[in-house]
A and B are shown apart, each in its own frame.
Chain A
Amino acid sequence: MLLQSSASSYLPILIQGIMALAFVGITMVITHLVGPKRRTIDKLTPFESGISSVGNARSPFSIKYFLVAILFVLFDVEVIFMYPWAVNFRELGGKGMIEMFVFMGMLLLGFFYVIRKGALDWEK
């Protein structure tokens, strides 16, 4: 009973999600049925401004992108930990703030290392 009362409060989101997907699905199916179908040779190759395509599009990328993604995951985890603190800011007071800034300082230390190493500079 109690379990239901909590989980069911998420029902509106589920309903909205289903309605959104239904909207997308229906419109896409309609256009698929309504629109014309014309197969031409030109459409069979990827569009590259009229120059014929060379090689595979999915070639390896710069590691920098991957680094940005790693940084994102780490800072995302940090932000997630900060939220429960921010909500209880009043009760935890100055002590909580010091604790949080020790936590954040650790991460910033690593962040400065990353910047000093030039990992975020695109040209290096």
Chain B
Amino acid sequence: MTAIFYILAGIMLAAACYVAVSRDIARAVFCFFGVLFAMAGLYIFALADFVAVTQILVYAGGVVVLMIFALMLTDKQLLENIRRGESSGPRLFRARALPSILLALAVFAVLLQVITAVDWGNMAWRHEAVAAGNRITGHENMVENVGVNLMTRYLLPFEVISVFLLAALIGAAYLARGRTNN
């Protein structure tokens, strides 16, 4: 099982790197799909099977479709022009990519700092949770846990999500209308 974990993590990292480096947007989206799929596998290892399914259903099944549609909607000629404009210089270290590389390195440094600073075997919340018996043994029905908590403890955030979705819907209607008026 550990081997499968590392294989999944490896696929994810490799695909993610390809997404970052690739200049072909279509291929990048295709690999992003692979990243999401491998990530769903990792969620299963974290005992979060509901999250894993949600990941496939919403991200791999929905958001990537949206991306591909966006790709199909964009003007190919425009994309070609942009690509031709920056095609000089080595692949990885173009001047325009410098800010994003710096940002990525900064985030990585923060993460590294966190990973090294935490005393993994001795975290306070872990001891508390174990003492209170508040932990997952791997035999519960995770979906039921999620449902009960959403409807009781986290009711307000849950209802706020609906407002959020409402805003997105109105935005979508506006987007479509703006185009048809042209």
Direct contact of A and B (CB under 8 A): yes
Residue A22 at the chain B interface, CB threshold 8 Å: no
Interface size for chain A: under 10, 10 to 19, 20 to 34, or 35 or more residues? 35 or more
B155 contacts chain A at the CB level, 8 A cutoff:
yes
Contact residues of A between 96 and 110, Cβ < 8 Å to B? 96, 99-100, 102-104, 106-107, 109-110
Count B interface residues, CB 8 Å: 53
Complex contacts, A5 vs chain B, CB 8 Å: 138-139
Tell me whether B47 is interfacial, beta carbon within 8 Å: yes
Known: A70-B66, A73-B63. A111 touches B148 (CB 8 A): no
Q: Is the interface of B mostly helix, strand, loop or mixed?
A: helix
Name 18 interchain pairs, CB-CB below 8 A, sorted by A: A7-B47, A61-B73, A63-B175, A63-B180, A73-B65, A73-B66, A74-B169, A80-B54, A81-B158, A81-B161, A87-B141, A87-B144, A88-B151, A96-B151, A102-B159, A106-B159, A106-B166, A110-B168
Residues of A within 8 A of B (CB): 2-8, 10, 14, 56, 58-61, 63-67, 69-74, 76-78, 80-81, 83-88, 91-92, 95-96, 99-100, 102-104, 106-107, 109-111, 113-114, 117-119, 124
Q: Name the 8 nearest CB pairs between A and B, nearest first.
A: A84-B147, A110-B169, A106-B162, A88-B147, A73-B62, A2-B138, A110-B166, A119-B176
